[in-house]
Amino acid sequence: IKLVLKEAGNINAGLMPYGNLEGSLGLSAAVGADVFVANVYGGVEGELEAKLDLPLGRSFNAPDDFELSAGLSVFLEYKVFLWEDKRSWKFADWQLYPSQGTQSLLMNINSEDLQLMSRDYINAGKDSPLGVNALSSDEFYTIKSNVFPSTSTRLINISNDRKMLVWIDDAINRSSSNRTALFYSIYDSAVGWSEPKIVNDDGTCDFAFDICTAGGDIYLAWENADRIFDDTVNIEDMAKNMGIKFAKWNGEGFEAYTLTSENDGLDASPTVCALPGNAVTVSWINNDQSDIWGESGNNTIVRRHINGNVLSAPEVVTIQTGSITSLDSAYSGNEHIIVYSHNQDQNDTDIFLIKGSSQAALISDNTMDDAFPNIVCNGEDMYIYWYTENYIVCTEDFGDSIFVIASAVNMQNGFEVLENNNNKVILWEVVEGFNNNIYAMFWDNSRKTWGYPKKLVSSLDRIRGLSGALEPNGTINTAYCWAPFIESDNEYPYGNSDLVYRTFEPEYNLTIKGGIDYDGTLVKPGETLPLWFKVQNNGERTVNKIKIEILDSEHNLIDSQMINSYLLSGEEAEIFGAYDLPDILTKHDVYVKVIPYSEEGEVADCDPSDNIAIGTVGYANIMITSPRISGFGATRNLLVNIQNAGYSDSFSNVWLKVYKDDNDVPLIQRNIGVVDVQSTVQEVFTIDMTQFSFTPESNDAMLRVVVECDPFDTLGLISDVILLPNPYRQDAFYIGSVGRSGSKLVFDITNNLPETSGGMLIIQNQTDGGDGLIVYGQHINLSPYYTETLELDISSVSTNPNDRIIVFVTDEEGKCISNNAEIGNGIETPLKAVLTAYTSVQPGATFNVGVALNNVTQSVYAEDIFLTYDSNVFEYVGAEGASSDILIVREDKDTVGKVRIIAANIGGVSGDSTDILSLTFKVKAGVMHTTGTIAITQAKLGAAPSGDILEAALDTKSISIGGSTPSVDKSALISAINNAQNLYDAAVVGPEPGQYLQEAKDALLAAINEAKAVKDDSGATQSRVDNAVTALNTAVEVFKAAVNKSPDINDDGKADVGDLAIVAYYYGKNSSSEDWPVAKIADMNGDNVIDITDLAYIAMNLDY
């Protein structure tokens, strides 16, 4: 018996570009066996565990980075005559890869293992699951209740309105050792099923049988005991007394004949075939040692011809050593054909063919086990089907060419090929995992091809002994033994077994499997978006065309398209449809519906509930763009842009994390909240250089920048790598913030190295391009990563504030080891009026725009400033002086889009940059996703006491407007902050009950400060404010839970050894433990784990 893994589930784990994957695969498989006189049902169930590490800095090595292990159990039911055995095996911790050796599973079943089947299904008590009656169902008709649980059935057509069903059942008036008899019932469309009768009630056991029809005649052959057994019979005695009987239907009953002699060995597996009006032939297998396994002695195929009442002598067709496991026969023209499966070389089982009186010929020469041969004759055409390790194959030329009909097929007890009026169906049953399934494959006669395996029935209920018959219109009639699933914990978890009859009408049924997929990068307003989805034909008929309908969220038709490709029964295909996106794109749902078409046109889908699928278009698209590093000295600034290029706000808060090399613990992390639609959030992290052990020989440090967000909020561009340069590969010093104050030069100088560094500080006056160069030099020496502000008198170098001054550092060899810092350019810096404002604001926002004067060398006492603004975007609200010394004396704003402001400066203003005005604007209602400009179009400045009029250079500011954002209500946040602050202020740090650990109080303060930062952020969205309220309230609850608890856990009025015992009982539990709701009573310090700290707390507070 060979076990084959059949099905695998889904990996339910995420996979990052750097990191690891852990997941599990649920699996199940079915096993079956083509055995001499046995029925076998079995399977394998379990779980595969997988772990995959994607290494950083080296190549992937499977034995080191990939592990696969399994926990499997195998079950097997084995039945011979009236004896049975049930077994289960367990593989414990089976390492599949990397291999840790091999494990073998030897399933030896001997006749001593088999026990006589219990008969408790007869008149089972009401408390037994076997006493449960068949469930009522509209799906099938119960022919007979409480039948033999291991029955087999055969259903045949007598005429268009009459059928016969033959089956093995329990003759309840017999003893247990003689219980099984061959029953039949006839269906007439006018009266229904007749009362079941025994074919030949001679009091002896009946077992495996075959039936055929020819020219309106019906013939039966079956295994029949030669005598009536007493209760002491064993399986060997029964095998020695097993023969073959034959019967012919006479219109009212069966006339029976015995075809074998007593004591001639075990006769089994009969097959019968006939020609209309001519001879009938019965063939069977004989084992001369009566070995039920067929392993010892000779196995002979014998046949006898019956013509009228004349029986020919038994004819030995072939004699083989080794078991012959299954047999079938038919007439091709006037020639009798036999096919059988036989293990000739003790290696694998093959299919052999006997034509007439010729020798047996091998027709399946391969290395796989072949079983369950079936012959189907249609006039002069003959087809031989068989099963070969997960494949159903067929030949129509006696093995010269073999073609595969179906692959990846599980099978346990063979299959049946049904034909009628150009309709063909292959039918079989199988146990897969916990389910009992009925499969079928349907023939497409117009295309001369088979469809794909399709489940007709999948149920936890027990299904055995399936057979079928085909109507001229393609309707399948089936019969099988059915027992309802009752309780999974019982050894036999089924109710009583009923013989049921069920009909399957051939219908059309398209199913969309899963949802709609598309390439998110192609989602653009006004563009055509290709949609794709999987469609399966779950119907019995071939679908010739598929109509696709694109529907909006209200199920209104947007578009329809015709797919001119067919789907066979059971076939699955990926279908593409085109969806024209709206010009104004927001997050929305779109539906796809599929409609089947036959060759004549549109047809009804028998189950329209599953031919429609939904997809959502316009998600957020969070991505990282342009990470870069700047700065010097002990810190570096990592600037990261997080862009939402999608068409909706992010579903949840977005986290930005920075990792050092391949470390799994973030170096720094930040919750940046919800990212609004079509917006970019810029985050700056400070990198502490002292955390890196740089040397002159080390490489640059690698930083991984990762965004963590809801999977629906990104197309996957959420990680990047940037190198933190080794400072030894950069300038040793950085000079910045250079400025002049009279004769003094002021600047900062920083040692960029993690060690003390020195050099010569050089100051040069290069006003004339180096001609007449004046140089100042001074030796410097700075500690690691140290920054010092220097203020040097450079009157010996320069007296003109507009001189071009260069500052740098050289080493002992005169090589420059710093940047070149520069101030001045040899010409006077222009006077300019500049605007300051946010580069982007939210819809409906009120915001400020500042006006400043730069490079003012004279004292300015008055300004006359003209401004323009985009009146379609902004509303002008008003202006005020930047300080109390700046007075607005005139404000003209009557002309929309223009403002004139005249201001006077008490005391005058001058210097490099001085704020003079603060203007207030508001984004107009309904304006979003656009950009507006505000510009200074004229700036005349009045100087005093000279009275000169100065013309300042002008400035323009562009401001973008984001997506729709409602007004932000921060009242709940303010209230939450006040409550948290009061709780924090009242909390006392200490070890006593009612007091708190310092760590808990620090955590609450950090949460309060984060909430305050959101409150003070004028650009915070309502979603971010709401998230801040939730986060702070959660921190408050965590803080409250961290209060030092009373050591009196059992509430007996004192802290004693009883309380200590409770903590010891739950020692090691944590918040992920299943019993944490109960165990957390012992968590004294509220850190979500019960450990030595909690034990110590109780011990220190025991009452003596």
Q: Give the pLDDT score at 354.
A: 94
Peptide bond into 98 cis (omega under 30): yes
Average pLDDT estimate for 288-314: 88
pLDDT of 44 > 50? The answer is no
pLDDT of 1026 > 90? The answer is no
Which whole-number Å values give the CA distances from 49 to 19, 93, 404, 914, in the listed order? Answer: 17, 10, 33, 68
DSSP 423-465: EEEEEEEEEETTEEEEEEEEEETTTTEE---EEEEEESSEEEE
Peptide bond into 945 cis (omega under 30): yes
pLDDT of 556 > 90? The answer is yes
Name the residue among 129, 260, 235, 220 with its Cα closest to residue 177.
235
C-alpha neighbours within 13 Å on the C-beta side of residue 1030:
9
Q: Give the pLDDT score at 74.
A: 46
Q: Residues of the chain with pLDDT > 90: what percent?
A: 36
Domains of the chain: 7-116 (no CATH), 510-617 (2.60.40.10), 622-728 (2.60.40.10), 731-823 (2.60.40.10), 832-961 (2.60.40.680), 971-1100 (1.20.1270.90)
At 478-497, the pLDDT tens digits run 999 988 887 655 566 778 88
Q: Which residue type occupies 448?
A: K
Q: Give the pLDDT score at 69.
A: 55
And the tokens for 756? 């003390």
pLDDT of 914 > 70? The answer is yes
Average pLDDT estimate for 777-806: 87
Distance of CA 501 to the CA centre of its chain: 39
Q: Give the pLDDT score at 108.
A: 46
Tell me the sheet residues that pair with 441. Answer: 426
Place of tokens 């209230």: 975
What's the rounded Cα separation, in Å, for the pair 349 and 361?
14
Place of tokens 């998600």: 619
What's the rounded Cα separation, in Å, for the pair 16 and 706?
9
Reduced to 3 states (helix: H, G, I; strand: E, B; else coil), residue 100 is coil
What's the rounded Cα separation, in Å, for the pair 542 and 539?
8
CA angle (695 as vertex; 691, 697 as ends), nearest 5: 135
Confidence of residue 51 (pLDDT cuts 50, 70, 90): low
Q: Would the CA dihedral through 805, 809, 815, 819 be positive or negative?
A: negative
Reduced to 3 states (helix: H, G, I; strand: E, B; else coil), residue 550 is strand
pLDDT of 950 > 70? The answer is yes
Q: Give the pLDDT score at 95.
A: 47
At 239-253, the pLDDT tens digits run 888 899 999 999 899
What count of other Cβ atoms lies within 10 Å of the Cβ of residue 145? Answer: 12
Q: Would the CA dihedral through 1049, 1050, 1054, 1060 be positive or negative?
A: negative
Q: Which residue type occupies 450?
A: W
Name the residue among 690, 913, 719 with its Cα closest to residue 786.
690
Place of tokens 């009992």: 436
What's the rounded Cα separation, in Å, for the pair 212 and 278?
14
Average pLDDT estimate for 195-221: 92
Name the residue among 142, 154, 163 with its Cα closest to residue 206.
154
Q: Classify strands 774-782 and 19-31 as parallel, antiparallel or unpaired.
A: unpaired
Cα-trace Rg, the chain: 45
Of residues 81 and 904, more confidence is placed in: 904
What's the rounded Cα separation, in Å, for the pair 682 and 976?
27
Q: Give the pLDDT score at 11.
A: 27
pLDDT of 62 > 90? The answer is no
What's the rounded Cα separation, in Å, for the pair 278 and 274?
7
**CB of 1097 closer than 8 Å to CB of 1044:** yes
At 438-462, the pLDDT tens digits run 999 999 999 999 999 999 998 888 8
Q: Classify strands 392-395 and 403-406 as parallel, antiparallel or unpaired.
A: antiparallel
User: What residues contact residue 33 under an 8 Å CB cut-off, 6+ apart?
Assistant: 1, 40, 371, 412
Q: Classify strands 840-841 and 956-961 as parallel, antiparallel or unpaired.
A: parallel
What's the rounded Cα separation, in Å, for the pair 548 and 560?
5
Q: Give the pLDDT score at 112.
A: 54
What's the rounded Cα separation, in Å, for the pair 294 and 263?
17
Of residues 134 and 811, more confidence is placed in: 811
Name the residue among 873, 861, 1086, 868 with its Cα closest to residue 961.
873
Q: Classify strands 476-483 and 462-470 as parallel, antiparallel or unpaired.
A: antiparallel
What count of other Cβ atoms lies within 10 Å of the Cβ of residue 244? Answer: 27
**CB of 713 closer than 8 Å to CB of 688:** no
C-alpha neighbours within 13 Å on the C-beta side of residue 454:
29
Q: Give the pLDDT score at 445.
A: 92
Which stretch of 115-124, 805-814, 968-977 has the lowest confidence by average pLDDT?
Answer: 115-124
**For every residue of 985-1019, which 3-state class applies, written as one string?**
HHCCECCCCCCECHHHHHHHHHHHHHHHHHHHCCC
Name the residue among 556, 569, 224 with its Cα closest to residue 424.
569
**CB of 294 closer than 8 Å to CB of 269:** no
Confidence of residue 931 (pLDDT cuts 50, 70, 90): confident
Reduced to 3 states (helix: H, G, I; strand: E, B; else coil), residue 527 is coil
By CB neighbour count within 10 A (0-12 exposed, 13-18 middle, 19+ buried), where does 1092 fall? exposed
Q: Give the pLDDT score at 67.
A: 59
What's the rounded Cα separation, in Å, for the pair 1012 and 921?
26
Confidence of residue 916 (pLDDT cuts 50, 70, 90): very high
Strand order across the beta sheet in which 381-388 lies: 370-378, 381-388, 392-395, 403-406
What's the rounded Cα separation, in Å, for the pair 37 and 270?
11
Phi-psi region of 263 (alpha: psi -120 to 50; beta: other; left: phi over 0): left
Which stretch of 467-481, 1043-1057, 1061-1075 has the lowest confidence by average pLDDT?
Answer: 1043-1057
Q: Which helix (H) or strand (E) holds 467?
A: strand 462-470
Confidence of residue 66 (pLDDT cuts 50, 70, 90): low
pLDDT of 975 > 70? The answer is yes
Q: Is the pTM of this model over 0.85?
A: no
Backbone angles phi, psi at 1061, to 5 degrees: -65, -35
At 86-144, the pLDDT tens digits run 544 444 444 444 544 433 333 444 555 566 677 776 654 444 443 344 333 446 788 98
And the tokens for 1102? 């025991």
Name the residue among 61, 392, 543 with its Cα closest to residue 384.
392
Place of tokens 């700075």: 782
| Per-chain mean pLDDT for the chain | 82
What's the rounded Cα separation, in Å, for the pair 646 and 929?
13
By CB neighbour count within 10 A (0-12 exposed, 13-18 middle, 19+ buried), where does 570 fall? buried
Instruction: List the alpha helices (DSSP H) in 571-643.
Output: none
Q: Give the pLDDT score at 769.
A: 59
Name the residue among 343, 336, 339, 302 with its Cα closest to residue 319.
302
Q: Which residue type occupies 827?
A: I
At 841-889, the pLDDT tens digits run 888 888 899 999 988 888 899 999 999 998 888 999 999 999 888 999 8
And the tokens for 345? 């070389």
Backbone angles phi, psi at 713, to 5 degrees: -95, 10
